[in-house]
Amino acid sequence: MFATFTAPSFGAVHAHRTGKNGAILPCRPRRDHPICEHGRPEGCGARHDRDDPQVGQPLCASCYDYRGAVLRNAHAGEPWRRFTQALLAALARLLGIRRTHLRAALRLSYAKVAEYQTRGLVHFHAVIRLDGPDGPTAPPPGWATVPLLDEAIRHAAA
């Protein structure tokens, strides 16, 4: 499986958005034109090009949770570590078997790449692989299917 793990939102940022036909869409259109507690608009009707320097910047720097965003980046490895633990547990739970039995029957391996999004947060692209107990030279058991792995990844990531 190839999966992308995106950080949560720490506040609204300007975005380059495109429609199905490739046309650039308004950034964050809001019909009711709300204003934040700092007197700045919570919406943005501009159509930002991909290289517009505003893209990825908060709509309001005072509303944006910079502390949360910085801490998230600094500790990005920890949710990943917990994910890999949770994935084995999720697989075992979905199959109704013990983790020790699962470990004896297959091997999970990962390759991940960290990438900065325009908003400055790190996200991960990961290849998650199921093999037999001896690694890549051994086929996984027949019941270790891609749909099962997909479901387990979603559970563990949540």
Residues found near Zn ion in the complex (CB under 5 A): 14, 27, 36, 38, 44, 46, 60, 62-63
Quote the least distance from Cβ 52 to Zn ion, whole Å: 8
Closer to Zn ion at the Cβ: 26 or 132?
A: 26
Quote the least distance from Cβ 14 to Zn ion, whole Å: 3
Angle (deg, nearest 10), helices 77-95 and 146-157:
130
Quote the least distance from Cβ 81 to Zn ion, whole Å: 34
Closer to Zn ion at the Cβ: 46 or 122?
A: 46
Q: ∠ CA 118-124-130 to the nearest 5 degrees?
A: 155
Quote the least distance from Cβ 30 to Zn ion, whole Å: 11
Contact 29, 23 (CB under 8 A): no
Query: What percent of the chain is helix, strand and coil (3-state, nearest 5)?
Result: 30, 25, 45
DSSP alpha helices (H): ranges in 60-145? 66-74, 77-95, 99-105
Quote the least distance from Cβ 58 to Zn ion, whole Å: 9
Closer to Zn ion at the Cβ: 21 or 37?
A: 37
Closer to Zn ion at the Cβ: 45 or 139?
A: 45
Strand partners, 44: 28
Instruction: Kindly report each contact of residues 16-22 with a partner whose C-beta sits within 8 Å and lies 24 or more positions away, as own/partner.
Output: 16/48, 16/49, 16/50, 16/52, 16/55, 16/118, 17/48
Closer to Zn ion at the Cβ: 59 or 128?
A: 59
